[in-house]
Amino acid sequence: MAEIERVIIIGSGPAGWTAAIYAARAALKPLLFEGAINEKNAQQGTLPLGQLALTTEVENFPGFPPGDLSGFLESSLPEDRRGYLPPHGKHGVSGPELMELMRAQAVHFGTRVITEDITQVDFSRRPFRLHASNGEEYQAQAVIVATGARANYLGLPSEDRFKNRGVSACAVCDGALPRFRNQPVAVIGGGDSAVEEATYLTHHASKVYLVHRRDTLRASKIMTQRATDNPKIEIAWNRTVDEVLGDDENGVTAIRLKSTVGDDDLTLEVRGMFLAIGHTPNTDFLKGQLELTEKGYVKWVKPFRTHTSVEGVFAAGDVGDDYYRQAVTAAASGCMAALDTERWLASLGE
Ligand code: NAP
C-alpha cells in the first residue's frame, strides 16, 4: 500500500486546482486525482479539467480582459499540454486555456497528478481510504472533494438512442460537427446555459430553436436580450420534448414537442438536440460516506467554511454549490478548503 498522504484532492476544475496551489504552497504535498480519460467520462462530461474544458470564451474570470494571450500560453504551458488546446483567438482566455493554466500553476508548486477516478471511499476512520480506477488504494489524513457537477439529460429512451448522433449536452464540444453545419438545431432549457449554447450554435447552424417549458426565460436579462435579438434564434415557449425522432442512417431528424398549456403537439425538423437543463453533482462515490443535500450535493456543515459532515474531509466548488456555480466562486472555495485543511491538520499537530 502507498504511503499515507497528508491531503488528497479529488477533482480537476477550478476548485481542485486552486486547492492544490494553496495546499502545495503550504507544503502539504497534495496528490490530486484529475479523473480518468475514458468513454464513460467523455459521454457524461466528466473528463479531466471539468466543465470549463467544455466551454469557449470565459469572459467573467477576473484578470483576463480581451487580448492576445498566445505568447503567455506558449511560455507558461509545457508543449505536451498545448496540443490539447483549441486554436487561440484574441479573446482573453478560453475555458480549456484557463484550466491548463491552473493545472500548470498547481504542478509548478509540486502537486502530483494522477489521471484516474476515485471510485470508492472509506471515510469511517483515519487515515481515509480511497480506491482509484487503476485498482490501487490510497490513504490520506485529509481529503478535499472537488468533483463538480455534470450536465443533465431528459431521460427519454429516444434521447439515449441518439446520443452522439445528434443529441448532445455540450454545444461547444459538438456544435461545430459537420452534421449540424447549416442545419436547424434545437436547444432545450431556459437558463443562461441554454441561451449561451443557442448563441454559440448560431455560428454553425442555419437556425436554432430554443425550447422552454414556460413563457419566460430563467436566464439573466442581458442573456435573454441576446436570445431575443438574435435573428437566428426562435423560441418555442411552453414546450417540452416528447420524443426525439430519427433513424440509424441520419441520426436525429426532428423532435416532437408537447405543449404545457394545452396546444397541439409540434414537430420541429432539426438535426440536433442540445440539452441545457441543469446539472447533477458528481457525488455517487460518496453516498453513505458524507452527508449530502436532497439534490445530492455535498453538505457544508459550518457557515462560510468548507467542512463536511466528516472531520478531515472538506468540499469545494460545484460539488457543494448549486447556487453560484461560477469558476471564480469554485476557485475561491478551493482556496478556502486548502486553508481549512491546513488549519485542521495543524490543530492535530500533523
Ligand atoms: P439553470 O439556471 O438551473 O436552468 C436550467 C433550465 O432548464 C431552466 O430554464 C429549467 O426550466 C430547465 N429545465 C430543467 N429541467 C428540465 C426538464 N426536465 N425539461 C425541460 N426543461 C428543464 O441552469 P443553467 O442554465 O445551467 O445555469 C446554471 C448556473 O450557471 C446559473 O446560475 C447561471 O446563471 C450560471 N451560468 C451563467 C452563464 C453566464 O453568465 N455567461 C452561463 C451559463 C450558466 P425552468 O426555468 O422552468 O425551471
Q: Whose CA is nearest to atom 3 of ligand 1?
A: 278
Tell which one of 60, 216, 218 to mutate to probe ligand 1, the residue whose CB is within 8 A of the most ligand atoms. 218
| Burial profile 109-118: b = 16 or more Cβ within 10 angstroms, e = fewer | eebebbebbb
- For the record, the C-alpha cell of 62 comes out as 477576473
Helical H runs in the chain? 14-25, 39-44, 70-76, 79-82, 95-108, 157-161, 171-174, 192-201, 221-229, 327-347
Q: Which of 170, 242, 322, 335 is catalytic?
A: 170
pLDDT value of residue 99: 97
pLDDT, tens only, 87-119? 877 778 988 999 999 999 999 999 999 999 999
pLDDT, tens only, 236-277? 999 999 999 999 999 999 999 999 999 999 999 999 999 999
For the domain made up of 4-151+279-347, give the CATH fold. FAD/NAD(P)-binding domain (3.50.50)
Angle between helices 221-229 and 192-201 (to 10 degrees): 30
Catalytic residue list contains 173: yes
Please tell us whether the domain made up of 157-275 is placed in CATH 3.50.50.60.
yes
188 CA distance to ligand 1 middle (Å): 10
DSSP state at residue 344: H
pLDDT value of residue 56: 73
Q: Phi, psi at residue 197, to the nearest 5°?
A: -65, -40
The residues lining ligand 1, judged by C-beta closer than 6 Å to any ligand atom, are 154, 188-194, 196, 213-214, 218, 240, 276-278, 325
Please state the pTM of the whole predicted model. 0.82
Mean pLDDT of 54-69: 86
170 CA distance to ligand 1 middle (Å): 14
Conformation bin of residue 78: beta by default, left when phi > 0, alpha when psi is -120 to 50? beta
Q: Which ligand 1 atom is nearest residue 323's CA?
A: 32
Spans of all domains in the chain? 4-151+279-347, 157-275
Please determine whether the domains at 4-151+279-347 and 157-275 fall in the same fold group of CATH. yes
Q: Which of 68, 122, 160, 174 is catalytic?
A: 174
pLDDT, tens only, 319-345? 999 888 889 999 999 999 999 999 999
